[in-house]
């Protein structure tokens, strides 16, 4: 149950870089069956210039290892 609580708590948060660049809005989380968080799926902002991997639908796939902080915003290294 805990893994679903995480999704509710951070759902729809804005994602920004440590330099303040807006990346987009959290869309989904990719998790392993044991609950380990692998990556964030982010809908890119129209003006996003981040050089991040994308899935086949054009959404950013951000490895969890890039997450610096989660608060009012999700802050990623970059």
With bands split at pLDDT 50, 70 and 90, how would you rate the model's confidence at 3? very low
Q: Are 66 and 30 in contact (CB under 8 A)?
A: no
Does pLDDT of 21 surpass 60? yes
Bridge partners of residue 15, in order along the sequence:
24, 74
Contact 43, 74 (CB under 8 A): no
Mean pLDDT of 25-31: 91
Q: pLDDT band at 12, cuts 50/70/90?
A: confident
CATH code of the domain covering residue 24 = 2.30.30.240
Do 63 and 55 contact (CB within 8 A), yes or no?
no
Give the chain's domain count: 1
Q: What is the pLDDT of residues 46-74, one digit of tens each?
A: 988 889 999 999 999 999 999 999 989 99
Which range marks the domain in which residue 54 is found? 2-76
Dump pLDDT digits (tens) for 39-52: 999 999 998 888 99
């Amino acid at each position: 149950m805990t893994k679903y609580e995480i999704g509710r708590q951070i759902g729809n948060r804005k994602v920004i870089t440590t330099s303040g660049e807006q990346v987009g809005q959290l869309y989904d989380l990719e998790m392993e069956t044991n609950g380990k968080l692998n990556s964030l799926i982010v809908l890119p902002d129209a003006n996003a210039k981040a050089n991040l991997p994308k899935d086949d639908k054009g959404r950013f796939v951000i490895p969890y290892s890039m997450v610096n902080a989660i608060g009012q915003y999700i802050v990623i290294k970059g």
